[in-house]
């Protein structure tokens, strides 16, 4: 142990890596963290944070229109893409600095460069200054994932989510390909910012993995908001023509666009990492295979976050980081649980969910009772907007436990976060019923639904 350069060598300073490095250092371990790009990883630089800032920007489009019904007279709103880009970039740079300060203060040594394995305890980092060899008692891989674009004629003309935050000029006509949460969020955001957005998804219903009724509901709401969403549609080729990008679809139709965003999947960041040099076992798309303690087949090498291709969310990467570090260096164990992980999709309107979909619950519990409500929020009685809100509870009939909470509506993530605590605490429908609502809110509907829709 004493011969190693550090107790923990972390590769990747994203959500998981930063949390692991800082916590391990705070617990007294000697920590080195290698990062090839900016501190903060996907979430801070090209994921959750800039995406949410842009989502706020896009919501103003609705707010200006809604204000009129409340007596406000606003001039013709004009959106300036350059201002948003500049302000976002400044905020991200600020956050990069906060991360650096936090890590340095905790005692973490940061090495800027590309890291790769040279053996089970050896890492090489190629920095601007040269090649540096390190040995470590434990190595944690937290290298994340990146967008993957299928090969087809013209695929080099597409942008991925990484390029959307700084795309220039603003794409007046945007084609979004994909039906997952990233595709849907960008479709909503650019639609709100004023682009004419067409979205193509080759499956039947967007947002695979979410509750089917919720998926149908958000499809209808996104269309009402102006996203021209086509399912059972796929791209066969893209050419540049005088009027823009000419996108041929598999069924013979075509779309003309200024930009084509491909958000059809993400693959683990393992290329060039030298995993074979350490003998680390990999699965589909190169994902690092780990056990329940996030350790690979090689003792001393661990992996967390998107590179393990489990639940690719920042809070999951953070929780995995804490579980690993507490097990290796902490006084107490802290196990990771994947049950009742809440999720939000920042479409317009927002989607949020925790627990089982109706069909998953039927498989897991057998008999379930479902409560559903759909309404026009109070605000829209005066705004005149036709947007509707959807709420659904799935209850295990035998135990009366609420096992699924699903919502489409404004600030759904803020609402469902609180209900996630209730589900973790195994709350029953009777306890939901005994809870008083906060009036007048949309969220109160979750504790006032009495009439089941499925017996
Ligand atoms: C557009 C978008 C929106 C998202 N929105 C949300 C959201 O709203 N909520 C949510 O919870 N999650 C969201 N996510 C997912 C979230 O960003 C990821 O789950 C999270 O960042 C994963 O953290 P990580 O630590 O596994 O990897 P990352 O954050 O990706 O960090 C990996 C780091 O490793 C570095 N690296 C890779 N290889 C090497 C190497 N060999 N040497 C040195 N450094 C290396 C990379 O440069 C990177 O900085 C979003 C993702 C995207 C793309």
The rounded distance, in Å, linking the Cα atoms of 77 and 75 is 6
In this predicted structure, what is the pLDDT of residue 431?
Answer: 98
The H helix count followed by the E strand count for the chain is 13, 21
Whether the per-residue pLDDT at 1 is higher than 90: the answer is no
43 is in an annotated binding site: no
Top mutation candidate among 9, 47, 113, 188 for ligand 1, by most atoms within 8 Å of CB: 47
185 is in an annotated binding site: yes
Cα→Cα distances 416→110, 346, 406, Å: 37, 13, 8
pLDDT in tens, 365-383: 999 999 999 999 999 999 9
pLDDT of residue 74: 84
Alpha carbon nearest to ligand 1 atom 33, residue: 12
Residue 172 labelled as part of a binding site: no
pLDDT in tens, 355-366: 999 999 999 999
φ, ψ of residue 267 to 5 degrees: the values are -120, 150
**What's the chain's average pLDDT?**
97
Best residue for ligand 1 mutational test, from 9, 10, 11, 12 (most atoms within 8 Å of Cβ): 12
Going by their DSSP bridges, the two strands 122-127 and 130-141 should be labelled as: antiparallel
Go through the domains of the chain in sequence order and give each one's CATH number: 6-47+83-146+267-329 (3.50.50.60), 150-263 (3.50.50.60), 349-447 (3.30.390.30)
The tens digit of pLDDT for each residue in 227-239 reads 999 999 999 999 9
Distances (CA, A) of 294 to 216, 269, 308, 335, 366: 36, 17, 9, 10, 32
Measure the CA–CA gap between 81 and 170, rounded to whole angstroms: 7
Q: List, chain by chain if needed, residues with CB within 6 Å of any ligand 1 atom.
A: 11-17, 34-37, 41-43, 47-48, 51, 114-115, 142-144, 161, 182, 269, 273, 305-307, 312-315, 317
Percent of the chain with pLDDT over 70: 99
The predicted pLDDT at position 334 comes to 80
Tell me the per-residue pLDDT of 43-99, one tens digit each, with 9 for 90 and over.
999 999 999 999 999 999 999 999 999 999 988 999 999 999 999 999 999 999 999
User: Is the CB of residue 3 less than 8 Å from the CB of residue 134?
Assistant: no
């Amino acid at each position: 142990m004493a011969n190693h350069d550090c107790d923990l060598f972390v590769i990747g300073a994203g959500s998981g890596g930063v949390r692991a490095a800082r916590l391990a250092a705070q617990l007294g371990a000697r920590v080195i963290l290698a990062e090839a790009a900016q501190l903060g990883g996907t979430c801070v630089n090209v994921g959750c944070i800039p995406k949410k800032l842009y989502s706020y920007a896009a919501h103003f489009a609705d707010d200006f229109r809604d204000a009129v019904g409340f007596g406000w007279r606003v001039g013709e709103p004009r959106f300036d893409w350059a201002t948003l880009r500049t302000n976002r970039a400044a905020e991200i740079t600020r956050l990069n600095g906060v991360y650096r300060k936090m890590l340095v203060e905790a005692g973490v040594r940061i090495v800027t460069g590309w890291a790769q394995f040279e053996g089970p305890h050896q890492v090489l980092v190629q920095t601007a200054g040269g090649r540096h060899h390190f040995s470590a008692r434990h190595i944690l891989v937290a290298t994340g994932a990146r967008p993957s674009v299928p090969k087809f004629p013209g695929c080099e003309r597409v942008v991925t989510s990484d390029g959307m935050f700084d795309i220039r000029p603003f794409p007046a006509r945007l084609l979004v390909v994909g039906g997952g949460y990233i595709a849907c969020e960008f479709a909503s955001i650019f639609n709100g910012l004023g682009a004419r957005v067409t979205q193509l998804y080759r499956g039947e219903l967007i947002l695979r993995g979410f509750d089917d009724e919720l998926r149908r509901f958000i499809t209808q709401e996104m269309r009402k908001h102006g996203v021209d969403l086509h399912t059972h549609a796929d791209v066969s080729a893209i050419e540049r023509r005088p009027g823009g990008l000419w996108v041929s679809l598999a069924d013979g139709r075509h779309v003309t666009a200024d930009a084509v965003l491909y958000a059809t999947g993400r693959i683990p960041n393992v290329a060039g990492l030298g995993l074979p040099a350490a003998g680390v076992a990999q699965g589909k798309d190169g994902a690092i295979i780990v056990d329940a303690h996030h350790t690979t087949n090689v003792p001393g090498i661990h992996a967390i976050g998107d590179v393990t291709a489990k639940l690719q969310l920042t809070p999951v990467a953070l929780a995995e980081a804490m579980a690993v570090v507490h097990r290796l260096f902490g006084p107490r164990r802290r196990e990771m649980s994947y049950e009742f992980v809440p999720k939000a999709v920042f479409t317009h309107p927002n989607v949020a969910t925790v627990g089982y979909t109706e069909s998953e619950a039927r498989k897991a519990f057998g008999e379930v009772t479902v409560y559903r409500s759909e309404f026009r929020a109070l605000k829209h009685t005066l705004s005149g907007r036709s947007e509707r809100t959807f709420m659904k509870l799935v209850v295990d009939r035998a135990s009366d436990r609420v096992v699924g909470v699903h919502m489409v509506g404004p600030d759904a993530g803020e609402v469902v976060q609180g209900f996630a605590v209730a589900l973790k605490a195994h709350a029953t429908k009777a306890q939901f019923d005994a809870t008083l609502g906060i009036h007048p809110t949309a969220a109160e509907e979750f504790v006032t639904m009495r009439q089941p829709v499925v017996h």
